[in-house]
Amino acid sequence: MKTFRFIIVLFFSLIFFSACREKNVCTTAHVTLEDYDSFKVDEYATYSHRVRAVIDSMIRNDKDELTADFRTRSYYLHEGDFLWVNRHGVTTQADTLLEYLRQVKDMGFSLKRFCVKDIEENLQRMRNLDFDEKHSINQVLGCLEYQLTKAYLRYSAGQRFGYLNPTYLFNRIDTLKPNRPDTIKRAVRYRGLFDVKMEHAGQQFFVLALRKITTDSVPAFLRDIQPKSPFYLALLDDYKTGEGDKAWRARVWCNMERSRWRLADSPDKHKRYVLVNIPSFHLMAVDNMDTLSMRIGCGSYATKTPLLTSAIKRMDVNPKWIVPRSIVEKDMIHYFSRSYCERRGFYVMDRSTGKEVDMNLVHRGMLLDKQYAIVQRGGKGNSLGRLIFRFDNNFSVYLHDTPSRDFFNQTDRGVSHGCVRVEKPFELAKFILKDKDEKFFENLNYCMTADSLTEKKRIIGSVKVKPALPLFLTYYTLYPLNGEKKSGWVSYPDVYGYDKVIYDFLMRNYR
């Protein structure tokens, strides 16, 4: 019926204009557009202000809180131009986007979260001119315009940078207790757990993404933003097979998300590097095809080792240990005594002078005073062992030796306050300082094994690492066996619960 009405209007319009040509006199010279209003079929009449009204209504009812959602609302609240619809209808780029959106199901996401069904139905209405009072052309165009943009920004940002921001999410997991009893209500403080430099979807990206629509560049743009790492593609292939139980597929899903993150630095960019994967409790030192592997101990669940990217710049032999205030306040203050200090080589240092304080003058208040520090002398029995490998970071953590070695035989080696304890410190030193001669390593062995360093000429203090060696403290619960997907996967326990954090976020926002 609606199509018939449209044809009738078109028929009389053609007769009307052909009559003008036959008489060579146009009787409509003084007729305005308003005079044609009686010919309009309301369901087919497009009005930009009505389309805007539909978009405004959708904005008011949109409660989603992802960055892409805020960007979508902001664009239209600032009267941004229509991107997908025009006086001819809907651009062909909508069909291109829809092809990509249909694939999110293969990645474990819900089609509904990307408005796929609504977009499909409204595109079909446009093609069939299937409009009525509930679904007028302006209603359909407004829905398409808003939902195409929202789905487009969600998808493009997710594929380009990952569907969650680990810098935000992981640094809001563990809360810090107030240092002192305080009657003033203060903002919640969190322990930093993630400091991996990476790219994020910011304003520049969203402006670029929207510009691609206006320049008819959506197909090329969507191709370019896809993750291309072999690790991601292998995980995606595995997930698409549908094999494995729910727990296995959840693990694949979480590691797929990790492999989307665009890191500023990664092991594949280097020939030589040191990599620590916390769930595996292992360290790998890689030099082209040669690999040194060893067990590690890392932070417990309560005192997690942070994830970071840095570079080893220095090695210290028989280092002193300045005990972190967190350890002093939580542990040491409860059993600190003169006899305890003498047995374990601790002393109190005045930070302003760097001098040791007479133990007869030390009292409990000093331990809580920032002017003083508790220091453990270097050498045998030091908590850092005989070697420490230093690198820049915001957490005061490092790789180091340890005098307590029994835990290396445990399966769960989450034993430290955050630092990484290495099983083979001497072998790691030889790897890092591979250009040093045999005499150097003989002296290093002497410094690491002698109870008392009486041969002054053989003592090694600090050694710079030139060039600095890339270091990666990572967290993967699934990894290719022997580095190759064809060999299968090796799975590691989610020791810090980070898989659950990723899984819960994706389920909440994309399922």
CA–CA dist 436, 402 (Å, integer):
24
375 and 447 in a single domain? The answer is yes
5, 91: one domain: no
Query: How many domains are there within the chain?
Result: 4
Q: In this structure, which amino acid lies at residue 468?
A: A
pLDDT tens digits for 167-184?
999 999 999 887 665 556
Band of the pLDDT at 46, cuts 50, 70, 90? confident
Q: Domain check: are 384 and 426 in the same one? A: yes
| Co-location of 289 and 339 in the same domain | yes
pLDDT at 475: 98
Backbone angles phi, psi at 370, to 5 degrees: -65, -10
Same domain, residue pair 23 and 157: no
The reply to whether 338 and 404 lie within a common domain is: yes
Sheet strands (E) in 169-289: 175-176, 189-190, 194-195, 272-277, 282-287
Do 32 and 45 fall into the same domain?
no
**How many CB atoms are closer than 10 A to CB 95?**
12
Nearest to 280 by CA among 494, 41, 17: 494
State the DSSP code for 280: G
pLDDT in tens, 355-388: 999 998 888 888 888 899 999 999 999 999 999 9
Q: What would the pLDDT profile of 218-232 be if each residue is shown by its tens digit?
A: 999 999 999 999 999
Residues 205 and 255 grouped into a single domain: yes
Res 178: pLDDT: 73
How far is Cα 297 from Cα 415, in angstroms, rounded to an integer? Answer: 6
Model's pTM, two decimal places? 0.87
User: Are residue 255 and residue 273 in the same domain, yes or no?
Assistant: no
Residue of 398, 414, 404, 399 whose CA lies nearest to 382: 404
448 touches 317 (CB < 8 A): yes
Q: Find the domain containing 90 and state its range.
A: 41-162
Q: Are residues 326 and 403 in the same domain?
A: yes
